[in-house]
Amino acid sequence: MSTGFVIMLTGVLVASACALLGCFLVLRRMAMMSDAISHSILPGLVGGYFIAQGPNLLVGFLGAAVAGLITITLVEVLKNTGRVGGESAIGIVFPAMFALGTFLVSKYFANVHLDTDAILYGSIEFASFDRLFIGDYDLGPQALWIMGSLCGINLLFVGLFYKELKLATFDAGLAATLGFSPILLHYALMAVVSITTVGAFTAVGAILVVALMIVPAATAYLLTNRLPVMIALAVGFGALAAISGYWLAILLDGSVAGAIATMTGVWFGLVLLFSPTQGLVAKFRRTGQQRTQFAADTLLVHLMQHENTAIAATESQVAHLSSELRWTPPFAETVIGLALRDHLVERQADRLALTSHGRGRAEAALEHHG
């Protein structure tokens, strides 16, 4: 396998593992927990390093996972005191953990290379050089094995507890009455998020974990109302970001993790603009259409009110309309164009006259808005 292929494959695996869980985080409004966990595993890594007396993958992994669980519990405890809001609890716990980690590093391991930069933005670039050995047998890149197993674990978790997760996410009350424990499920989900974060962050760093957990899931959320579709789309967008991010990094000769995070944002931005239902463009167009439609109704009602009155002649002049209804001339033109197109009014010299169809619409509009 070429270096580039290993990097992309690792990226796709990280993206899939993260997106599977990210959908539930986004829907449960716990997106920032992934940020908190990704920062607060630092003291756990340091602790693992201390216990194993050196860099040891398994011990470091366990230490980090424990730190993740401590963070989750602390946030939960702080929230339950009723003194601190959920988001403030997160804002207190994870910087404290990160500061503790940095403190420990500089106090006891000042001479050891435990790079805080690498923790923030990882080293996916070297994915193919760090290999897993059993005895002397080379099993291939270690990151692929770690992320592949995490993908499997997450797939299993979501597959096995799909119904429970879905229920607890959309109707925690009902889940509780049916006998599931939403709290237990919360901790289970957080534990899997925590393990995934730890595993992914050795490969890609803290920030990319957050990006891949939240952004593809949020992107998918803008496109569908169905959970299975959302999960599939999130995995797809994550993979897309991983591959396009790799090429962006090659192009700019920059950090692959940074580029992948950037690409998640680019895809999100595109969907945010152009999603058929939730997109900003669709939304603005809808608003514009409604505005013109409403203005056309106003025009019809205005014409009807003055029909057969003494001032009808002046009130129905095209030139008079824009000043009477306070429309800019171009907007008035659009509205009149719409009314003419739908045969609601007729042009009579410089005046407008209601058609019978238009009169019916005006009456209906009066009744409807009236």
Partner 1 sequence: MDTFWELFTDYTLRNVALGSALLGIVSGVLGCFAVLRRQGLLGDALSHAALPGIAVAYLLTGSKAPLVLLFGAGVAGWIGTLLIGRIVRDTRISEDSALGIVLSTFFGFGILLLTYISKQNDANQAGLDKYLFGQAATLVASNVITMAILGGVALLVVGILYKEFKLLTFDPAFAASLGFNPHRLGILLTTLIVVAVVIGLQTVGVVLMAAMLVGPAVAARQWTHSLRLMIGLAAFFGAAAGVSGAIISVSDANLPTGPMIILSLTTIVIASLLFAPARGIVWDWGRRRRQRTLALNSAGPGSGLMLPATDPRPSVKKGDEQ
Residues that bind partner 1 in the complex, under the rule CB under 8 A: 26, 29-32, 34-35, 39, 77-78, 80-81, 83-85, 87-88, 90-92, 94-96, 98-100, 102-103, 106-107, 110, 116-117, 120-121, 207-208, 210-211, 213-215, 217-218, 221-222, 248-249, 252-255, 257-262, 264-265, 268, 272, 278, 280, 283
| C-alpha pair distances (Å), 306 with each of 165, 347, 354, 359 | 61, 16, 11, 12
Distance CA 272, CA 221 (A): 10
Q: How far is the CB of 81 from partner 1 (least distance, A)?
A: 6
Q: How far is the CB of 265 from partner 1 (least distance, A)?
A: 3
Distance CA 86, CA 132 (A): 40
Start-to-end Cα distance in the chain: 71
Q: How far is the CB of 148 from partner 1 (least distance, A)?
A: 23
Nearest to 18 by CA among 6, 29, 26, 28: 26
| Of 250 and 313, CB closest to partner 1 | 250
Distance CA 147, CA 210 (A): 16
| Of 224 and 298, CB closest to partner 1 | 224
Contact 89, 21 (CB under 8 A): no
DSSP one-letter code for 54:
S
Distance CA 30, CA 195 (A): 16
Q: How far is the CB of 123 from partner 1 (least distance, A)?
A: 12
At 170, is the secondary structure helix, strand, or coil? helix
| Of 74 and 299, CB closest to partner 1 | 74
| Of 119 and 339, CB closest to partner 1 | 119
Q: How far is the CB of 28 from partner 1 (least distance, A)?
A: 9
Distance CA 257, CA 338 (A): 51
Distance CA 15, CA 274 (A): 23
Q: How far is the CB of 100 from partner 1 (least distance, A)?
A: 7
| Of 165 and 248, CB closest to partner 1 | 248
| Of 46 and 299, CB closest to partner 1 | 46
Distance CA 182, CA 187 (A): 9
Distance CA 92, CA 94 (A): 6
Contact 121, 257 (CB under 8 A): yes
Q: How far is the CB of 273 from partner 1 (least distance, A)?
A: 11
| Of 44 and 358, CB closest to partner 1 | 44
Residue type, 204: V
| Of 96 and 353, CB closest to partner 1 | 96
Q: How far is the CB of 259 from partner 1 (least distance, A)?
A: 5
